[in-house]
Amino acid sequence: MMLLPHGTRAAVYRSWRRIIPRPTTVLIARRYQSSDVSVPGESKKPYYITTPIYYVNAAPHIGHLYTTVLADVVKRWQELKGNEAKLCTGTDEYGLKIQQAATIAGVNPKSFCDSGAETFKKLADTANIGYDRFIRTTDPDHQSAVEHVWRVLRESGHISLKKHSGWYSISDEAFYPDSAVQKLIHPPTGQEILISKETGKTVEWMSEENYHFNLSSMGPKLLDFYSQNPKWLLPSQRYDLLKAEVSRGLEDLSISRPKERLQWGIPVPGDPSQTIYVWLDALVNYLTFTGYPWTPGTPTVWPANLQIIGKDIIRFHCIYWPAFLLAIGADLPKQILSHAHWTMSKRKMSKSDGNVVDPFHAMKRWGVDTMRFYLCLDGGIVNDGDYSNQEIEDKYNKYLGSQIGSLLTRVCSAKYSVEDAVKCEKEGRKVELDEDMEALYKKLRYETLEGLKYRVDGRMEDMDFSNALREILDVIAETHKYIHATKLWADGKENIRSYMLYPAAEALRISGILLQPFMPRKMEKLLGLLNVSPAERTWEKADLGADLEYGVGASGTKAQVFPRFPIKEEEMEK
């Protein structure tokens, strides 16, 4: 049963289907799509996506891979639709916990960061992430951007120097009020400790003089922005919690640390006795990529169209970050997607429990595109996703091997010719079908396939990656049913084989095009086996009948895109 489409385009397309007879539907759907494309000669800002920048004090985990893959899928989806897109990812390298980790490792902080940054860059490269810049907060242009933001905040009266006391978490690099702290018995020692309610990290009392940002005065502006932008933070459940927190009132934010305690960071301009707060420094990276400070009249990719974060850093990205931007007079990002975490056996991953997933090992074991597919299919946006090696194998066998891979084998059977099926459509050949065969043909062609890309696009508009995939998987499953019901391989079907094969071949071709952002290397191979020209693997061509030149030499292939488990290492990404 097909999943009901979500999203604006899918909803509009669905309403057209009810009132406009076929084939006008397809023409109007195409017209609707073309209205989203910029007019020739008109300047259009690239679609700008960011991931958080990752701390280099520990090795990458599966959550880092998940966030980065989601961002890459969004970028590739925009590019599939013909839009220029930019993706920025990188590493966060300053702060007290980096300073402490480097000391424990017995190296200077910069050498420590160089090693950590290289590991995260390797993760992105291994996962086939099409980033446009791997930014590091130790980059010279980033330091210049941070210093400029500081000066603008100071000159506009948003910064003051005063004494600050509070509960400080070194792990979170954040102060917490009394209301955000709770007592807990530490299981290994039996000692009573204080932790942050939000993150569970240990806190300690700290009192010092430093610079503050007047966050307390920004609450009304933030609430006004939230009300005017009801889909700014996804999912809505977290947006409601955010609004409630800001409504209760905000305290001014400490945005520097005494240098005597924190040497590893960007010095406060004009006051070298203080170091800029790591989160103010880190958040500015999203502007650094855009060439901030901007030259008046020069085009920029800011504001970000989408910023993807984990649910644990919402406070920093949805309170502090927009407040800083409002204070310097910059536009706010258009949307923020906060995703849930990964657990294992319904338990939070932790090194002490031995259930942390090494993303490099996972990609080596299962293959890069298999991991990309699994993370998007089973990853949690609202609720945590539960990581399972058995689930990866099951999903691979059920969807990739037995559905997508098997459909390629069935469509490209030596019993019939994909090339002739495409020619049949191109030449407008018609055949006489009995009532049952006619019904099967029309159902696959006009109900299952028609409008697929708009249904998937509707899911992608909602950042519903899992159901975007399931829309395509439903079509593939329906095509298998179609081939089974028509029995095109049977004797006596020679005169109708090419005609009946065509919609099945189209289902595979169109699905392959739409799956490219999720599994780029595997779909490159699949579309290559169908002999679909690289120039024809576009959004415009993801319509039934949009490409009438593929299929030459496709029939009789024995190549496998998704071989059976166990997979030989040399077959992983072939």
Residue at 203 is within a domain:
no
Give one DSSP letter per residue of 221-244, joined into a string: HHHHHHHH-TTSEESHHHHHHHHH
Q: Are residues 416 and 513 in the same domain?
A: yes
Instruction: Give the mean pLDDT of 527-548.
Output: 97
Task: Say which residues have a Cβ less than 8 Å from residue 414's Cβ, sequence separation at least 6.
Answer: 555, 556
Task: Confirm if 93 and 281 have CB atoms less than 8 A apart.
Answer: no
Q: Among 281, 265, 282, 285, which residue's Cα sits nearest to residue 273?
A: 265
Provide the residue type at 194 as one letter: L
| pLDDT reported for residue 167 | 81
Q: Is the pLDDT of residue 571 over 60?
A: no
CA distance linking residue 527 with residue 43, whole number of Å: 33
Give the total number of structural domains in the chain. Answer: 2
Counting Cα atoms < 13 Å in the Cβ hemisphere of 283 gives: 22
Q: Is 8 helix (H, G, I), strand (E, B) or coil?
A: helix
Question: Is residue 444 predicted with pLDDT exceeding 50?
Answer: yes
Does residue 14 sit in the same domain as residue 134?
no
Q: Is residue 460 part of a domain?
A: yes
Strands (E), 488-555: none
Based on the fold, state whether residues 116 and 61 are members of the same structural domain: yes
pLDDT, averaged across the chain: 89
Task: Give ∠ CA 424-552-78 in degrees, rounded to 5.
Answer: 95
Q: 543 phi and psi, to 5 degrees?
A: -120, 150
Same domain, 116 and 67: yes
187 is a domain residue: no
Averaged pLDDT for residues 406-430:
95
pLDDT in tens, 511-530: 999 999 999 999 999 999 99
Of 411, 417, 404, 529, residue with least CA distance to 475 = 404
Q: Which of 161-170, 260-269, 287-296 has the lowest mean pLDDT?
A: 161-170
Evaluate whether residue 19 is within a structural domain.
yes
Strand ranges for 155-299 from DSSP E: 159-169, 174-176, 181-185, 192-196, 204-213, 233-234, 253-254, 256-258, 267-268, 271-276
Return the amino acid letter for 202: T
In this predicted structure, which of 96-110, 133-147, 153-167, 502-516 has the lowest mean pLDDT?
153-167
The CATH number covering residue 440 comes to 1.10.730.10
Separation in Å, CA 5 to CA 236, 257, 472: 19, 50, 12
Is 292 domain-assigned?
Answer: no
Whether the bond into 563 is cis, omega within 30 of 0: no
Q: From the centroid of its chain, how far is CA 253?
A: 30
Task: Please tell me the distance from the alpha carbon of residue 482 to that of residue 505, in angstroms, as a whole number.
Answer: 11
352 and 487 in a common domain = no
The answer to whether 265 touches 278, Cβ cutoff 8 Å, is yes
Residue 26 has pLDDT above 80, yes or no: no
Query: What is the length of the chain?
Result: 574
Widest Cα–Cα separation across the chain: 89
pLDDT at 85 over 60: yes
**pLDDT of 289 above 70:** yes
Residue 1 has pLDDT above 80, yes or no: no
Say if residues 93 and 137 touch (Cβ distance below 8 Å): yes
pLDDT of residue 36: 40
Say if CB 485 and CB 503 are below 8 A apart: no
Domain presence at residue 440:
yes
Helix or strand or coil: residue 289? coil
pLDDT for res 6: 44
User: Within this chain, do residues 447 and 558 fall inside the same structural domain, yes or no?
Assistant: yes
- Check whether 295 has a pLDDT greater than 50: yes
The separation between CA 373 and the C-alpha centre of its own chain, rounded to angstroms, equals 12
CATH number at residue 70: 3.40.50.620
Amino acid at the residue 56: V
Look at residue 192 in the predicted model and tell me its pLDDT: 78
Cβ-count burial 507-517 (b if 16+ within 10 Å, e if not) = bbbbbbbbbbb
Please choose, from the candidates 420, 431, 378, 363, the residue with its C-alpha nearest in 3D space to the C-alpha of residue 548.
420
Q: Half-sphere exposure (CA, 13 Å, Cβ side) for 37?
A: 13
Is the separation of the CB atoms in 387 and 343 below 8 Å? yes
* 566, 537: one domain: yes
**Residue range 447-452: mean pLDDT, rounded:** 96
Residue 129 sits at φ, ψ, to 5 deg, of -85, 125
If we measure between CA atoms, which residue out of 497, 202, 146 comes closest to residue 328?
Answer: 146
Give the Cα separation of 80 and 68 in Å (integer): 18
Spatial CB neighbours of 180, under 8 Å, sequence gap ≥ 6: 167, 196, 197, 198
Q: What pLDDT is stored for residue 39 in this prediction?
A: 41
Model pLDDT, residue 34 = 34
- Least trusted range by pLDDT, from 159-168, 327-336, 465-474: 159-168
Domain with 97 in it:
47-138+341-369
**d(Cα 169, Cα 175) in Å, to the nearest integer?**
6
> Does residue 98 form part of some domain?
yes
Query: What is residue 157's predicted lDDT score, i.e. its pLDDT?
Result: 96
Task: Give the span between the Cα atoms of 355 and 367, in whole angstroms.
Answer: 20
Q: Are residues 352 and 450 in the same domain?
A: no
Reported pTM: 0.88
Average pLDDT, integer, range 236-259: 95
DSSP letter at 531?
A: T
Helix (H) or strand (E) holding 119: helix 109-126
Q: Give the 3-state secondary structure of residue 50.
A: strand
Q: Are residues 363 and 507 in the same domain?
A: no
Verify that 467 and 532 share a domain, yes or no: yes
Q: What percent of the chain has pLDDT over 90?
A: 76
| DSSP annotation string for 547-573 | --S--TTTTT----SSPPSSPPGGGTT
563 and 415 within one domain: yes
Q: Does one domain contain both 353 and 502?
A: no
E strands, 56-142, where?
A: 85-92, 133-136
Residue 550, pLDDT above cutoff 70: yes
The pLDDT of residue 40 is above 60: no
Q: Is residue 85 part of a domain?
A: yes
- Whose tokens are 């029309």? That residue is 442
Q: Coil, helix or strand for 202? A: strand
Residue 63, Ramachandran bin (φ over 0: left; ψ between -120 and 50: alpha; else beta): alpha
Residues 319, 334: Cα–Cα separation, whole Å = 14
Residue 456: phi and psi, rounded to 5, are -65, -40
**Which positions ≥6 away from 80 have C-beta within 8 Å?**
513, 514, 516, 517, 538, 539
- Burial of residue 361, with CB atoms counted within 10 A of its CB: 0-12 exposed, 13-18 middle, 19 or more buried: exposed
- Strand-pair partners of 328: none
Give the pairing of strands 181-185 and 192-196.
antiparallel
